Structure 1
Amino acid sequence: MSARILVVDDILANRRLMQAKLEAKYYTVLLAENGVQALQVAETEQPEIILLDVMMPGMDGYEVCRRLKGNPATSHIPIVMLTALSEASDRIRGLEAGADDFLTKPVDDFALMARIGALNRYNAVALELRKREASGVKSGALSEDENEALERGANILVVDTNPRTIREIRYPLEAAGHSVLTLEEAEGRSALMTDPLDIVLLALSDQAYDPLRLCAHFRTTGSTRSVSIIVMAHDRDREIVAKALDLGATDVISTPVIPEELIARVATQTRRARYVEILRQRVDKGLELSVVDQLTGLYNRRYMNNQMALWLRRSAQGGSPMSVVSADIDHFKAVNDMYGHEAGDRVLQEFANRIMVNVRPKDIVCRPGGEEFLVIMPETSGDLACTAAERIRRAIAAEPFEIDSASGKEIDITVSAGVATYTGDDDTAADMLKRADKALYVAKSAGRNQVKSVAA
């Protein structure tokens, strides 16, 4: 999988060397020689990954990283920091600044390509979700509640056969506010099925089990497919680490584990996974908004038209009956005129609730607009549809509607309804809706608060 990668380094030879390595793997390379230029290129070109040198004059890599992550236009871009500094404190500082990974110079080509491959997989998911939600909230512009979700403690599963290592890992993570379980504890409590799991810490080195098979299992099991997997391994086990990254691991930490680095990497992976989950929720919400009436929670006209066409095709193919009930609140304009639109909205909401209580699960209740409602009744004859419409009519008229919760004021509401039934191959959705509206008009002309059906 190719990608556009921004290389930021103040030394020309380093930039050219990295460019040659990446282009040999068919990546497109962008270059920046200092922090200011990197900020400009990142915002205008939107690369998929940034390789950022730490030691630069003027603005160092840590400050560049903080600014990139603080800008909604670039906060989603993964950053790998590159430096000759090898102290754990330097890695921790980079991760706390917002970096997604940290590699020490001279950069090992094997490790670099493995990291880029892992970040590419993450980008493929996140980019698609950002495109889908582009018409809604801008990427990176998270609400207060969403930011709280990003920072909340993680549920972590530790898979390691060394009890001493587990203790060394568990204490700092729990002190940082995370919940930690071992594989044995998880199996005993069925936690994988009942608790939302955020991260798996999977030991690769010196294990009695096959860690790669377990890594693949987590990636192919529905309940753990989207979980972040941080693998723990000795520096000498780079080949098994690369294989784990190919199988879907999202990050690597060297053993023996340094607690501060572990906490920083867990925080990075948690934020990344939850950011993707927030994007998924936004996309789902956007899809819901496109077909659901926000006042009543019923389906809107767009969904109604699609379902009408779908069930007409099924009736034509299988010969099963299908009916629709068109319902209209009697004298609804007078409610708005006398009591105000807020009272009218309360009537519409309660009206929708009473309809939903009095239809079958397979019936599709829609609000095309205003005080008009339509119930699509699959596999339903005209007589049964009339009976159902009469049940709805009685439920609406049975009890008054509250229009003011403070005063408890109530008014009586009634409904008129018209029923139409599918008549055969030549029947269309427009024909059925026209007959239902005609029957509704007959019901209103006959005095309202009744159900009528008009033959084809």
Structure 2
Amino acid sequence: MFILIEKIDGILSKEQFTEIMEDKIQNSLESFTLAIIDIDNFEKVNNYYGESVGDKVIEKIASVLKQNLSANDFVCHNNKDEFNVLFSSTSAETGFIMVEEIRKYLDTNTFQLNGSPKKEVNIKISAGVANFPRHAKNSIELYRTSDSALFRAKREGKNRVCLGESENMILKSNYYTKTQLERLSDLSKKTEKTEAFLLREALDDLFEKYSK
């Protein structure tokens, strides 16, 4: 029997999550982005490793999501293998990039789950992303558009993120030394934050320091 994480360490219930989203829509004070994230082949993980490991995978996903969200973002665990994330005051493109960073982090890192014997598990996700009010005018349409994008991600081979509509994404390339990248990778694994999230934190600190 799978666990449903609610009201623990910042993970909301579906009801709480929807209430927050409805309030944002009714007030129409900001644009925000909804992501529906699904764990790829979760049933195979349960069947191969057992449901206790499946529960650990759910907890690991919840932890990684929390570490890479801002204080104004929200996450809920919906169904056994699905999470919903609300990125406050966030465009569709920015929401896409943030979920893609998390997908890449999970794709490139295996996770040691304590036990006897210890198990190393690969976790991959697919996600659909949609924005209010760009893609939808109410919560039903927003869920539907995000879910449709998730379906497209699954259909196109899983382990990917799709927008509610086709968009051309422009990504900026940066160059670092090998040592810097290795240290960044180690810190990312230690903190469960994506490398891009850590870089944004460092930039925020620089802006604060030199803006005084």
Normalising by structure 1, what TM-score?
0.34
SS in 2 for 1:380: coil
Specify the alignment match of 1:354 in structure 2. 64
Q: Deviations over 1:204-260 (max 9, x none)?
A: xxxxxxxxxxxxxxxxxxxxxxxxxxxxxxxxxxxxxxxxxxxxxxxxxxxxxxxxx
1: CA distance between counterparts of 2:25 and 2:105? 28
1:3-36 Cα offsets, whole Å, 9 max, x none, are xxxxxxxxxxxxxxxxxxxxxxxxxxxxxxxxxx
Aligned residues: 163
Relative contact order, higher structure (CA 8 A, sep 6+): 2
Aligned AA for 1:405? G
Matched, 1:312 2:22: no
Mapped pair 1:336 → 2:24: no
Q: How far did residue 350 of structure 1 move?
A: 0.7
Equivalent residue number for residue 345 of structure 1: 55
* Corresponding letter in the other structure for 1:407: P
Amino acid at match of 1:365: V
Match of 1:303, SS state, is helix
Larger radius of gyration: 1
> Which amino acid is 1:312 matched to?
I
Aligned to 1:366, the other structure's residue is in SS state strand
Aligned counterparts of 1:341 and 1:360: Cα–Cα separation in 2: 31
Match of 1:388 in 2: 98
**Structure 1 stretches (4+) deviating beyond 3 angstroms?**
294-297
Q: 1:422 to 1:297 in 2, by over 3 A?
A: closer
Distance 1:430 1:402, change over 3 A: same
Q: Separation in 2 of the partners of 1:332 and 1:416?
A: 11
In structure 2, the partner of 1:416 is 126
1:406 Cα shift? Answer: 2.7
1:398-437 matches, cutoff 5 A: 398-423=108-133, 427-437=137-147
* In structure 1, C-alpha distance between the alignment counterparts of 2:85 and 2:136, rounded to whole Å: 22
Runs of at least 5 residues in structure 2 that lack an aligned partner in the other structure: 167-212
Deviation at 1:423, TM superposition (A): 2.5
Structure 2 counterpart SS, 1:365: strand
Task: Determine if contact 2:32/2:131 at 8 Å carries over to the other structure.
Answer: yes
Distance 1:426 1:398 in 2: 33
Deviations 1:176-196 (A, max 9, x none): xxxxxxxxxxxxxxxxxxxxx
The Cα shift of 1:409 comes to 1.4
Cα deviation, 1:42-73, whole Å, max 9, x if unaligned, reads xxxxxxxxxxxxxxxxxxxxxxxxxxxxxxxx
- Distance, in Å, in 1 between the alignment partners of 2:33 and 2:156 is 22
- Letter in structure 2 aligned against 1:299: L
1:398 Cα deviation (Å)? 2.6
Shift of 1:359: 1.5
RMSD in angstroms over aligned alpha carbons? 2.3
What does the per-residue CA deviation read over 1:319-342, in whole Å, with 9 as the maximum and x for residues that have no partner? Answer: x31110110000001111111110
CA distance in 1, matches of 2:108, 2:46: 21
**Unpaired segments of 5 or more residues in structure 1?**
1-291
Task: Give the TM-score of the pair, scaled to structure 2.
Answer: 0.71
**Residues 295 and 448 of structure 1: is their aligned pair in 2 closer, same or farther, counting only changes over 3 Å?**
farther
Residues 296, 349 of structure 1: 8 Å contact kept: no
Separation in structure 2 between the aligned mates of residue 352 and residue 410 of structure 1, nearest angstrom = 18
Aligned to 1:298: 11
Q: Are 2:36 and 2:147, in contact at CA under 8 Å, matched by a contact in 1?
A: yes
